[in-house]
Amino acid sequence: MTDFAKTDVWQRSGGQHILLQHRDRPDSPTQFIVGEIPEQIEIKENGLRFLLDMGKRQNNGLFLDMRLGRKWVMDSTQGKSVLNLFAYTCGFSMAAMQGGAESVVNLDMARSSLSRGRDNHRLNNHDLSKVSFLGHDVFKSWGKLRKLGPYDLVVIDPPSFQKGSFVLDKDYAKILRRLPELVSDGGEVLACVNAPDIGESFILEQMSESAPAFKFEKRLENPTEFEDISPDSALKVMHFRHHAESEG
């Protein structure tokens, strides 16, 4: 790592810190190879500003491999209503507001993550009267979500496993079954999975069985810097569209 900091590539990048996170160890401790530990770092992506916490938690506040997914949302939500499930720090919400969304509803059990999302919206001068932050369990919130809908776009980007609340291979279908009552006719869904042992066929089959009125459009590309040994092991961001006439 220290040798990399001496290369032309690193020098041209203007980088100041290299952090090594040991994900194979308990609590995923971090080690700074180059530079001192900053309390926060502000980064820019597609014109948006994000505050990241480095070295404090397992995740820093933004999943960088989802960059093209956020760019797609930014380019696709002018004048639309958006539901962002498992919102974390609201990266999709920020992209939607930057792209001219009419409204965004963020739902996540972690209120601290939503609070960081609110801070990032403020950092980008977004109109918070158009953004909602719900610190709830998605499985106990369907009534409230229906009242705030319907939505032109629903983003589903869950963790693979969240103790006591979500197990991807068991609970994903429970969300998909609710889509017809949440998504407007012609509306869209981004269904995401980032588990190396679960391929894109899982999403396609689950959608076909649980919400057959949603037809597959395409799989979004991943950033080249996150190339995986197999497409099925990589991040999967799948785009679907609702065709209400095919229901029933």
For 82-144, the DSSP string reads EEEET-TTTHHHHHHHHTT-SEEEEE-S-HHHHHHHHHHHHHTT--GGGEEEE-S-GGG-HHH
Which class would CATH give 64-246?
Answer: alpha beta
What whole-number distance in Å separates Cα of residue 14 and Cα of residue 211? 47
Of 218, 139, 136, the C-alpha closest to 178 is: 139
What whole-number distance in Å separates Cα of residue 14 and Cα of residue 2? 15
What whole-number distance in Å separates Cα of residue 44 and Cα of residue 36? 20
**Can you give the residue ranges of every domain in the chain?**
4-52, 64-246
Q: What's CA 113's distance to the chain center, in Å?
A: 12
**Mean pLDDT split into 10-residue runs, the chain, 248 residues:** 68 70 61 67 90 66 88 98 96 98 96 94 97 95 96 93 74 96 97 92 96 97 86 93 78
**3-class state of residue 73 by DSSP:** helix
Q: What separation in angstroms does the CA of 176 have from each of 17, 39, 161?
A: 41, 39, 17
Residue 46: both structure tokens together: 């597609």
Buried-exposed string 115-140: b where 16+ CB fall within 10 A, e elsewhere = ebbbebbeeeebeeebbbbbbeebee
The reported pLDDT for the residue numbered 159 is: 84
What whole-number distance in Å separates Cα of residue 137 and Cα of residue 170? 16
The reported pLDDT for the residue numbered 236 is: 94
Residues 6+ apart with CB under 8 A from 200: 193, 219, 231, 232, 236, 238
Residues 6+ apart with CB under 8 A from 202: 169, 172, 193
CB 54 within 8 A of CB 17: yes
pTM value is 0.87
The reported pLDDT for the residue numbered 176 is: 97
**3-class state of residue 78 by DSSP:** coil
What whole-number distance in Å separates Cα of residue 114 and Cα of residue 145? 17
H or E stretch at 48: strand 48-52
